[in-house]
């Protein structure tokens, strides 16, 4: 039987409301017209009182000239999808992407290579998109993944995304549960602070970031950073619980290790149902 978590007032996964965007654009245009007209009137008043001619190189503003010409740069007139791709990357392939899952007692233990050819190659590499039902990598470009429900979790170097919010059209939510273990973690309270990948402001397309400017995804900085070894690891006693609003299934994820973009982790449902029946016969690799 599935673990059911009744999420009330769950965060929406989309921030792309054309009506809100049009309203914001109209307000911006009105404000610009008013400001330009006021400036013109003030300068005109000053010219009537001042003696002598104006400098030939100084031009008074024209209240009707190009007031709305730059509305593409105004708050509200933006495309959150394009903003998300610019922040996350808009690439086609993930070099060396591979996943190798094994299953025992209903728990999938897996190694996933999201090193994408190293740090230097990362800006030009796509994310590694994982389907957790089949536990295979889905061959998607970053642009295709932005509108695809074929993937559930994505990895790139040390970063992790879930298919929700500004990352994709999915319905995943995540919460980090501290002071527990993989065997003992329980379904969190519905009001405990579930997160989605919502990091683009729909009004002006600004990006919420952390660290060195990475987008503030649900996982964000999930790790602790070792300044001596430059390695990352999950905080001790922290298990990540993921919930799919579409299927009402809850899962637990333990990240046991990370080295150079290669994850070792465990995955299982919170319920007693095993997740092994759909596993592939062997690992999957993208090149």
pLDDT for residue 231: 80
Question: At residue 240, does pLDDT exceed 90?
Answer: yes
- DSSP conformational letter for 245: T
Q: Of the candidates 203, 209, 199, which has an alpha carbon nearest to the alpha carbon of residue 74?
A: 203
| Alpha-carbon torsion (252, 258, 262, 264), positive or negative | negative
Residues 6+ apart with CB under 8 A from 101: 108, 109, 110, 135, 279, 280, 283
Task: Report, as an integer, the average pLDDT of 64-82.
Answer: 57
- Least confident interval from 70-84, 144-158, 188-202, 251-265: 70-84
pLDDT in tens, 106-156: 999 999 999 999 999 999 999 999 999 999 999 999 999 999 999 999 999
pLDDT for residue 244: 94
- 95 with 287: CB under 8 angstroms? yes
pLDDT for residue 277: 56
pLDDT for residue 54: 35
% of the chain exceeding 90 in pLDDT: 58
Question: At residue 180, does pLDDT exceed 90?
Answer: yes
pLDDT for residue 151: 98
pLDDT for residue 229: 83
Three-state SS across 174-234? EEEECCCCCCCCCCCCCCCCCECCCCECCCCCCECEECCCEECCCCCCCCEECCCCCCEEC
**Structural domain spans, the chain:** 18-77, 91-285
pTM, full prediction:
0.72
Could you give the residue ranges of the DSSP H alpha helices within the chain? 18-49, 80-88, 142-145
232 confidence band (pLDDT: 50, 70, 90): confident
Task: Report, as an integer, the average pLDDT of 153-180.
Answer: 96
């Amino acid at each position: 039987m599935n673990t059911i978590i009744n999420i009330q007032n769950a965060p929406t996964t989309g921030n792309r409301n054309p009506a809100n965007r049009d309203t914001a654009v109209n307000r911006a245009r009105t404000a610009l017209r008013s400001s330009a007209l006021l400036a013109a009137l003030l300068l005109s008043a000053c010219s009537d009182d001042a003696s002598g001619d104006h400098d030939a190189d100084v031009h008074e503003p024209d209240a009707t000239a190009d007031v709305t010409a730059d509305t593409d740069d105004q708050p509200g007139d933006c495309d959150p999808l394009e903003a998300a791709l610019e922040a996350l990357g808009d690439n086609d392939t993930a070099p060396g992407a591979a996943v190798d899952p094994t299953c025992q007692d209903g728990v999938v233990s897996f190694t996933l290579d999201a090193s994408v050819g190293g740090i230097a190659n990362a800006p030009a590499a796509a994310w590694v998109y994982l389907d957790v039902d089949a536990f295979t990598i889905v061959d998607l470009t970053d642009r295709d993944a932005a509108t695809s429900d074929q993937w559930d979790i994505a990895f790139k170097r040390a970063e992790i995304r879930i298919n929700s919010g500004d990352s994709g059209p999915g319905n995943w939510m995540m919460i980090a549960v501290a002071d527990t273990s993989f065997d003992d973690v329980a379904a969190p309270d519905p009001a405990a602070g579930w997160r989605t990948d919502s990091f683009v402001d729909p009004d002006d397309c600004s990006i919420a970031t952390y660290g060195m400017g990475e987008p503030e995804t649900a996982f964000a900085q999930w790790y602790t950073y070792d300044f001596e070894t430059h390695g990352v690891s999950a905080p001790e006693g922290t298990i990540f619980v993921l919930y799919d609003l579409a299927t009402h299934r809850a899962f637990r994820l333990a990240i046991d290790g990370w080295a150079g973009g290669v994850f070792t982790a465990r995955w299982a449902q919170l319920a007693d149902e095993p997740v092994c029946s759909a596993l592939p016969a062997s690992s999957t690799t993208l090149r």
